[in-house]
Structure 1
Amino acid sequence: MDETMYKYGRLGTLEQKRVQTNGIEVPRNDIRVLLLHPQRGEDFQVRCDLVYLNLSDPHPPPFYALSYCWGKEEPKFPISLNGREHWVHPNLFDALQRLRDRDDVAGRFIWIDALCINQNDKEEKGSQVNLMGEIYEKASKTFIWLGEHEHASPLAMDLLNSVTEENLRDMLEDKSESKPTEQAWVALRALFERPYWSRVWILQEVVLSRPSYLICGNSMCSWDSVRLLLRSENFEVDKKNISVGSHNARMAVVSESILPKLLVNIIDGRQTNAQKLEFWDYLVLSRQRNASVAHDYVYGVMALVDPPALRADYKKPVGELYFEVVKRLLCLEKKIGILSMCCETQVEDRATPHAAAVVGGEPGTSYATSLPSWVPDWRTRFKKDYQSRLLCKLKYSAGMAGPDTQPDIECEAGSRTLRVRGVFVDSVTFVSPANNLNRWPQVGEDWKTWTQHISGSGNMYGSLEEQREAFRSTLQCQYHGNKTRNTDGSDQYFDIAVGRTEGSLVDPKRTFGKAGRQFFGTSNGYMGRGLDDVQAGDIAVVLLGAKVPFVLRECGHNSHYRLVGECYLHGIMNGEVVKDPTKELVDFYLV
């Protein structure tokens, strides 16, 4: 990359001038924008110039912004930038060609991160990333580039362009004369599965932009069409199907969730101040997306918080960034729920070209070893289905979560040890084999093991029928919170599992969930479910202000523990131990 391309002097006005090559670094609140020139006759080369404008100017010239996926790096294609040859990734090259061919874009300013930010200058990159929220908010339009047409994608774009408030219901109920075909709905699913939707950055780029337009090949449609369709009561999305009214167009698995639907919900919530998400909510969402730089799992969502939670600094080691963010959330904002994000995850190298990324500033550091157990590593994904089963999302209040009981948390300056106050509940004495709760014979064995275990120590649940109810509820913990127990066949399944009846009519995976939590028992007869990592000898605790209990593992001495993860412990999920006057509050030190 030609570094002189990104140097210029401070101009007195915002008139269109090429970037100077003998100047200074980008002034504060100044950004570069691209002047995309129309095609000249038979000259098909993409030609553009870098110009800068000041976001603080009361009347800045209008500019557009591009939201896109960087995609594959090779093969690179040449464009003319400030009269010099400059090589860009293939997906950006395609986008520039399509935008250049549009009369409403050619000859106008457009902001594109890969060209308008010097990606090799970490200091400048940080300062410009701090402005990205404002850039997308102030852009006259944001173009969402989904890539060139593939297969039936023109049908998907035609479908979206046909959506209006007047014809939406008829279209979804098959009453419209020009109703979309099933092939069009399948094409729409494919459009929503494109790599673009997996990016961290689109969370803020789409949410903050108004108006936005989707571009696929030579087709364009308004984001409002997507929003109108996905917020319709007749358009229901789940993990395995897109169901569209009575048409019921069944499709293959879409994804863990359709991100466009999520974006619509976020935008609606922000505009109505209903269900407004907080910084740690966005961090949870970012963990399931992709980023090319590990810092961006944090920086990619910070503009969604008002005021921004922090300032971007790409010189800061990733581990230090994650530590500082979580320390702030816990100690200053008292967001104790963030501890539920510390769990066994599916380690993926999504952020760097190295399997062992730079965590504490030194190459070769593993993903987790340099971070305290109470700091989530945002570069790792949750295991499949785990995010949707976080216990802290359910209506529990084990630590009396609410305004009357605040978390008692402290991390002294210079320390990586977190002090949290709570109640010791019990010690884990046995754990079922991992990943076996989706096989009914193992559930029966767990029941028998627990009944044998309590025969000598007593139990917390009363009669045999009450014990069965507790066991049944424990297996269902991740679905129901304190809601009414379901009637989807679990009674029959339980009876089969414990040998009370014969048969195999109920699917255990559907009833009690896929693998990811295992059954355990405690010394005083509690039963619970925790992560696959739970071991005999661990302790279960309830922390003040937390919705759910946690499992800790002693390491060293003096009440120092490693956080294993959240858990369900039947009988203490609604503040029972915190309200118990015989229970003593103690400090736990997490390392």
Structure 2
Amino acid sequence: MVDENPFARLFNKSAPSVQLAVLEAGSRDMPIQVRITNVDPEATSYDCISYDRSQDYGTVDITVDNQPLSIAKPLEAALRSLRFAGWTRTVWADLLIGSSTEERSTQAAVMKNVVENADSTIVWLGPADEHSAAAFDIMQTMANRWHQARLHSGFPEVMSRATVEQMTDAFQYLLSKPVDDLQPSNQALWQTIEKTIDSSYFRSVHAIPDIVLAKKITVASGTSSMNWTDFKAASRAAPLIMAQQINMTLSPDFQKCFELIYSIEIAERRKRAGESIELLPMIQSSGDCNVNDPRDIVYSMLPIVTPSLRTQIAEPLPIVDYTKSTAEVFTEAARYIVHERQDLLLWWTARSPRGRKVRDLPSWVPDWSVPLPKRAVKVMPTMTNGMRVWWEHIVPKAKRITVDDSNALHVQAHALDRVVSVSPIFTDANCRRLCLTEWQALPSQPGEDLEARVQKMFRTLLLNQAGFGDTLRDIAQPKKEMWVSFQSVLAEERVMELLGCTEEQMMAQPELAQRARELPEAAILGPQTGRSQEFEALLRQNAIGRRFFRTESGKTGMTAVESLPDGAGPAEGEPQVPNFDAAMAEPMGSNMLSGFQKFLQQRDPRAAGILAQALSGSLPGQAAPGVRAGDLVVALVGGFQPYVLRPATEYDVTQTVEQSLQSDSKYSYVGDCYLHGVMDGEPFKTKGWFSTSWTTDVKLVDITIT
């Protein structure tokens, strides 16, 4: 009746109008015909179609307003399957409305209103196969079992808050259920189940806002469907059932899809609870997705973002504008995040500047198009981490973090140390030998006994982390006994160094083993060998891609991940000069390049200078060089870890670290780091007779990071 009364909306000048598609009735094989209509979404019944827009699947022609239009094949398949045979169906799908720069910008502005007011959102996973109907039935069974397991174990809605006992109890309950009704021998059926849960749809960056904004969600493949709540539950139960009861090997892609579905679930829960959905965590989620346009890492998240409740600082959200470059979009988003949050958490899951692809970014702005490698372990910035809370206790209160019109970051810093030595990058091939090399080069500090040296070395190499603690949010430290396994690595590598052989050669050539028993030093080291596996496993998990460094005061640390991820490619818009990290990481490569450099110095000093630039990573066109000698390690107000900065101008080497950190000077951001002995805020604590308190008087320097 509201639609029929002309006065109902006569004086509502702000009534929005959007374009929806009226899908004409037809049988499955008939050509698709669509009419575009302008309507008020709040007064119209329609459904949204959410499909995989992460890659180019090719196009198919349909008829829109009696004119041919090419649309993506997944959308065409969805329209064909969802069309009613006897009556029209009104739907919204983004690529039916236009794809030019102007149309995309306009479309983004109305997208939130359209999805929120739809009767339902259909998550289209793709066409069905002959096993899809049975696959959805089994997924429903797995969903029911997961719901029961949660009730049985008291498993919390927030998975990261689950204890080991709750997780074990839930998993045991799942595995106690009969497997016969799951058709375990039907491999083709289970491949369809795996393909359904591991759908490329969930790697599409647009899946996140489409699902979070929806009132009602149905997951569909062909004519089979189930509700979103049960689909999530099935995705929780499936990995365990598939691995333990069906004996399937799960791919890394399946694990990634599991994580993406969980990140969507977190945003959904926050929206239901009326909590803020901040831009930073959503960018971190979208950065793990597939995108055709890196600007969509930011722009696709704007419809679901709400202001932060942390600082109550009113900051206008960026506006979708596809005429801007990727660098402009990322910089604008970083400005918003820093101003709104008043901290530097945007660096936590971002790669260091060395791993960038996008050109023209300020050093402090993350390149969200290059996510962290999954094996990169990060120090969790929890409330108990001293580097997280020290600035809250200083007097007078620290200044606000700001970004000026030139996109320079203004923040307060406290000098911690200066880098004096940096190792090659740890790789799978050299990580054991680098442990020995850096141990041999580690100088003794006054008053430091051998046990303290060993503890400092092995804990630094492992970032003092050994996996999950009591819950998925807690990080456990390596056992004190880990030094035994670490010394075993050193002993084994030293024996092979004495023999001039590899482990494979020693195993294959009995005469080498005999020589080892005859060498006095090798014979002494022999009892320490054979126990290296535990340390080596954590070393490969935590250190690969990083570099070990030493500081002026004798501290040890590990850089951020500096090696490029697979397929990172050149910087946007130009070919990138390759770096020499891989060659320099191997003793033979390093010796050859050093010899060639000496040869060039005699024959062509200019060429030798260019080679020196290339080896250091500072040649124009190369990725930004990583940590190097002379860089400063600082604590920043709003920071969660120690950070490495590089002065914009040369400094006096006779100056102290504190003198090197000059007020109002300019620096470039090199990356975060692990610095042993400061990660719990030790430099900012004062020990008393009975307790430890925070130091309120901390020397801070105003600096600019460009």
Structure 1, residues 373-414: CA drift from partner, whole Å, max 9, x if none? 00012222323423x535547953325257556764544542
Structure 1, residues 94-140: CA drift from partner, whole Å, max 9, x if none? 1111111577xx61211100013x32152x43233133223222211
* Structure 2 letter corresponding to 1:111: W
* Structure 2 letter corresponding to 1:415: S
Q: Is the 8 A contact 1:336 1:407 kept in 2?
A: no
Shift in alpha-carbon separation, 1:440–1:110, aligned structure 2, 3 A: same
How far 1:44 moved relative to its partner? 0.7
SS of 2:671's equivalent in the other structure is strand
Q: Is the 8 A contact 2:423 2:438 kept in 1?
A: yes
Q: Is the 8 A contact 1:192 1:260 kept in 2?
A: no
2:551 pairs, out of 522, 542, 550, with 522
Question: Which residue of 1 is the match for residue 76 of structure 2?
Answer: 93
Aligned equivalents of 1:466, 1:420: Cα separation in 2:
35
Shift in alpha-carbon separation, 1:66–1:392, aligned structure 2, 3 A: same
Q: Is the 8 A contact 1:399 1:544 kept in 2?
A: no
2:90 pairs, out of 69, 92, 109, with 109
2:325 pairs, out of 317, 325, 334, with 317
Shift in alpha-carbon separation, 1:394–1:149, aligned structure 2, 3 A: farther
* Structure 2 letter corresponding to 1:522: T
Unmatched runs of 5 consecutive residues or more in structure 1: 1-12, 16-25, 349-366
2:375 pairs, out of 372, 385, 406, with 385
> Which structure exhibits the higher relative contact order, with contacts defined as CA atoms closer than 8 Å and separated by 6 or more residues?
2
* Structure 2 letter corresponding to 1:433: P
1:474 pairs, out of 443, 449, 460, with 460
Question: Which residue of 2 is the match for residue 181 of structure 1?
Answer: 184
Shift in alpha-carbon separation, 1:399–1:346, aligned structure 2, 3 A: closer
Aligned equivalents of 2:29, 2:63: Cα separation in 1:
12
How far 1:542 moved relative to its partner? 0.7
Deviates more, 1:440-449 or 1:166-175: 166-175
2:252 pairs, out of 251, 254, 258, with 254
Structure 1, residues 6-49: CA drift from partner, whole Å, max 9, x if none? xxxxxxx968xxxxxxxxxx987321111111116x97111111
Aligned equivalents of 2:679, 2:479: Cα separation in 1:
21
Question: Which residue of 2 is the match for residue 356 of structure 1?
Answer: none
Aligned equivalents of 1:408, 1:341: Cα separation in 2:
25
Aligned equivalents of 2:241, 2:337: Cα separation in 1:
38
How far 1:505 moved relative to its partner? 4.7
1:69-218 pair list within 5 angstroms: 69-70=52-53, 73=56, 75-101=58-84, 107-116=88-97, 118-122=98-102, 124-149=103-128, 153-163=132-142, 165=144, 173-175=176-178, 178-181=181-184, 183=187, 184-218=189-223
* Larger helix fraction of residues: 2
How far 1:485 moved relative to its partner? 2.2
1:496 and 2:496 equivalent?
no
* Structure 2 letter corresponding to 1:588: I
Aligned equivalents of 1:120, 1:306: Cα separation in 2:
27
Question: Which residue of 2 is the match for residue 326 of structure 1?
Answer: 334
1:38 pairs, out of 25, 30, 41, with 25
Unmatched runs of 5 consecutive residues or more in structure 2: 5-12, 150-172, 308-315, 468-473, 492-524, 563-625, 651-661, 686-694
How far 1:425 moved relative to its partner? 0.9
Question: Which residue of 2 is the match for residue 300 of structure 1?
Answer: 300
How far 1:153 moved relative to its partner? 4.8
Shift in alpha-carbon separation, 1:418–1:188, aligned structure 2, 3 A: same
* Larger strand fraction of residues: 1
Question: Which residue of 2 is the match for residue 589 of structure 1?
Answer: 704
Question: Which residue of 2 is the match for residue 376 of structure 1?
Answer: 366
1:280 and 2:280 equivalent?
yes
TM-score normalised over the length of structure 2:
0.67
Question: Which residue of 1 is the match for residue 672 of structure 2?
Answer: 566
Shift in alpha-carbon separation, 1:164–1:396, aligned structure 2, 3 A: closer
Say how many residue pairs are matched: 528
1:510 and 2:537 equivalent?
yes
How far 1:216 moved relative to its partner? 1.5
Shift in alpha-carbon separation, 1:296–1:71, aligned structure 2, 3 A: closer
* Structure 1 letter corresponding to 2:372: F
1:432-443 pair list within 5 angstroms: 432-436=423-427, 439-443=431-435
1:52 pairs, out of 24, 31, 38, with 38
Question: Which residue of 2 is the match for residue 7 of structure 1?
Answer: none
Aligned equivalents of 1:347, 1:46: Cα separation in 2:
46
RMSD in angstroms over aligned alpha carbons? 3.4
Q: Is the 8 A contact 1:520 1:530 kept in 2?
A: yes
SS of 1:562's equivalent in the other structure is strand
SS of 1:426's equivalent in the other structure is strand
Q: Is the 8 A contact 2:47 2:91 kept in 1?
A: yes
Aligned equivalents of 1:226, 1:206: Cα separation in 2:
13
Aligned equivalents of 2:115, 2:390: Cα separation in 1:
36
Aligned equivalents of 2:191, 2:59: Cα separation in 1:
32
Question: Which residue of 2 is the match for residue 10 of structure 1?
Answer: none
SS of 1:421's equivalent in the other structure is strand
Aligned equivalents of 1:279, 1:72: Cα separation in 2:
24
Q: Is the 8 A contact 1:553 1:563 kept in 2?
A: yes
TM-score normalised over the length of structure 1:
0.79
SS of 1:564's equivalent in the other structure is strand
Aligned equivalents of 2:233, 2:454: Cα separation in 1:
47
Aligned equivalents of 2:66, 2:370: Cα separation in 1:
42
Aligned equivalents of 1:488, 1:180: Cα separation in 2:
47
Q: Is the 8 A contact 1:401 1:546 kept in 2?
A: no
Aligned equivalents of 2:56, 2:678: Cα separation in 1:
53
How far 1:236 moved relative to its partner? 8.0
Q: Is the 8 A contact 1:401 1:547 kept in 2?
A: no
SS of 1:471's equivalent in the other structure is helix
Q: Is the 8 A contact 2:550 2:556 kept in 1?
A: yes
How far 1:528 moved relative to its partner? 0.7
SS of 2:194's equivalent in the other structure is helix
How far 1:428 moved relative to its partner? 0.8
Shift in alpha-carbon separation, 1:551–1:263, aligned structure 2, 3 A: same
How far 1:165 moved relative to its partner? 3.6
Q: Is the 8 A contact 2:132 2:192 kept in 1?
A: yes
Question: Which residue of 2 is the match for residue 5 of structure 1?
Answer: none
Shift in alpha-carbon separation, 1:49–1:568, aligned structure 2, 3 A: same
How far 1:440 moved relative to its partner? 2.2
1:544 and 2:536 equivalent?
no
How far 1:564 moved relative to its partner? 1.0
Aligned equivalents of 2:252, 2:479: Cα separation in 1:
28
1:68 and 2:183 equivalent?
no
* Structure 2 letter corresponding to 1:77: V
Q: Which has the larger radius of gyration?
A: 2
